[in-house]
Structure 1
Amino acid sequence: MDWLKIHRGNAPLVVAFPHGGTDLAGCTFASDWLARRDTDWWIEDVYGFARDLGATLIATRISRSVIDANRDPSGASLYPGMATTGLCPETTFDGEPLIPAPINEAEIARRGETWHAPYHSALRAEMDRLRSIHPQVVLYDAHSIRSHVPRLFDGELPLFNIGTNDGRSCAPELERAVAVVCAASGESHVVNGRFKGGWTTRHHGAPDAGIHAVQMELAMRGYLAEPVEPTPENWPPRPDPARLAHLQPILKRVLSACLAFAGE
């Protein structure tokens, strides 16, 4: 599966990247640029230091516009009554049409069997491997998003958005440890705000079984200069070295707190 990247470590930490891919897999979109615009740009680079912590890293190269690996495979909304994007999105975050015609059920099922199910099977296999070594394992689901997306949330998003499915996907001690690091950074943060955790967090988090899942949604201004409005000419900008130099030590402390919780 050349679309799936796995770096295996032996520490009790898995860092997952379901939305960093840009491969459109031959699928037809209204605009290839729109199909890639809502990517979690450069997210694997932002967390590149995680290898040195002994973490296992799992990433899909497939774009979230083909199939969203962080959505319920049944198609059920994770945020009922709120604006969101679906398993095989029909619109962008801003509501622009993404596909020229509706996707039929057979094609949705094909994409699920080809990419969604194998991604989560790989996640489960790595967590089971680490769980055989350690009494507890942390699954850290790494995301990023533009700071301003009016259709999804009002105003400017906090820099650090911690999601634990309202405390159900991990032990309260882990949620608190991550929040303490973010608060100590002096940057804005929220726990279970607009982003409470997607399918990865909700499906795999099983604290009673020693699997503790946390989602972190970063506002992209933490590592790049966001334009007022993204266009094909200005989006995506490259990561800003000065912003990364400030952000990455905080994220390293976050992941170190996850490891400390797991007993590493």
Structure 2
Amino acid sequence: MQPFEITRGTSPVILAFPHTGTHVPEMMLQQLNANGRLLADTDWHVDRLYEGLLPGATSVRATFHRYVIDANRDPEGISLYPGQNTTGLVPLTDFDGMPIWDEPSIPDDVAIAQRLEQYHAPYHRALAAEIERVRKLHGIAVLYDCHSIRSGIPYLFSGKLPDFNIGTDTGRSCAPEFERSTAELTAAAAADGYTSIANGRFKGGWTTRHYGRPETGVHAIQMELAQSTYMVEEAPPFALDMPKARRLRVHLKAILERIEAVALDLKHSQGAAR
């Protein structure tokens, strides 16, 4: 199976989906224990949530599961959040800190290197190529990294996660206009009962931090959604709640449209300044 899927568009906005894939090669699937085979840490249905919201947006989606290798982790294995509980490049545990591999089958360095070559690297080559294509087209590209996670995971964070979690590497991965406009819209969503935060527990993963270089015209922002906003329950069978999803999509559409508008404004202002 191809490790990624691409839909090319002409908008300055690129949607990335590193964690919606559920493909695990049969040999690796057999090496996962019963807990691992639940694939519980998938970003369930996130690609469906964003489908059709911004006509013309490019999308790049990893088809492999994060237990094969995590497309949103530093290929060198460097922790995104030093000193805090997290999962690695090839996770050994789930988000609750429970083992996911049969002990004799825990991936070693050779296996990790193979997975980097077969999955992680091709996905990021594809993503980087689309970012560069869009940047050449507009002089600006905005990478919007799409994620979701259970709203309560004591191993990773205390309390209940806000519904919208904006990550910009504390303002370093994009021009301030993108963070500000996204924060304004998620704050406005409070009228519908949603909560939001910028650069809280999730400040943006490796994708956001690696590609977000505003000085080069490439901006990146991560959106981590609490799965309670669109799922029946955050447990098997991980079913989509359609009424919740339709309500959430209204706000996601507004966010993407605002990001696109900000990108085009910046494009025109930069053009006028030349």
Which bin holds the TM-score, normalised by the shorter protein? over 0.9
Find the residue that maps to 1:143 and give its secondary structure.
Answer: strand
What does residue 195 of structure 1 align with?
202
Unaligned runs of 5+ in 1: none
Q: Is 1:223 paired with 2:230?
A: yes
Matches within 5 A, 1:65-104: 65-101=67-103, 102-104=106-108
What does residue 3 of structure 2 align with?
3
Q: CA deviation at 1:239?
A: 1.3
What does residue 30 of structure 1 align with?
33
Identity score, percent: 48
Find the residue that maps to 1:180 and give its secondary structure.
Answer: helix
Find the residue that maps to 1:182 and give its secondary structure.
Answer: helix
Q: Is 1:42 paired with 2:45?
A: yes
What does residue 245 of structure 2 align with?
244
Q: Is 1:167 paired with 2:171?
A: yes
Q: Choose which of 184, 187, 200 in structure 2 pairs with 1:183.
A: 187
Aligned length: 257
- TM-score scaled by structure 1? 0.94
What does residue 120 of structure 2 align with?
116
Structure (1 or 2) with the greater helix fraction = 2
Q: CA deviation at 1:2?
A: 2.3
Question: Counterpart amino acid of 2:172?
Answer: R
Quote the Cα distance in structure 1 between the aligned partners of 2:160 and 2:237.
19
Question: Counterpart amino acid of 1:195?
Answer: F
- TM-score scaled by structure 2? 0.91
2:35 and 2:99 in contact (8 A); partners too:
no
Quote the Cα distance in structure 2 between the aligned partners of 1:77 and 1:163.
16
Quote the Cα distance in structure 1 between the aligned partners of 2:238 and 2:17.
19
1:85 and 1:93 in contact (8 A); partners too:
yes
Q: Choose which of 148, 154, 158 in structure 1 pairs with 2:158.
A: 154
Q: CA deviation at 1:31?
A: 2.3
Quote the Cα distance in structure 1 between the aligned partners of 2:238 and 2:33.
22
The two structures, once aligned, show a CA RMSD in angstroms of 1.3
Quote the Cα distance in structure 1 between the aligned partners of 2:124 and 2:95.
24
Stretches of 4+ aligned residues off by more than 6 angstroms: none
1:139 and 1:214 in contact (8 A); partners too:
yes
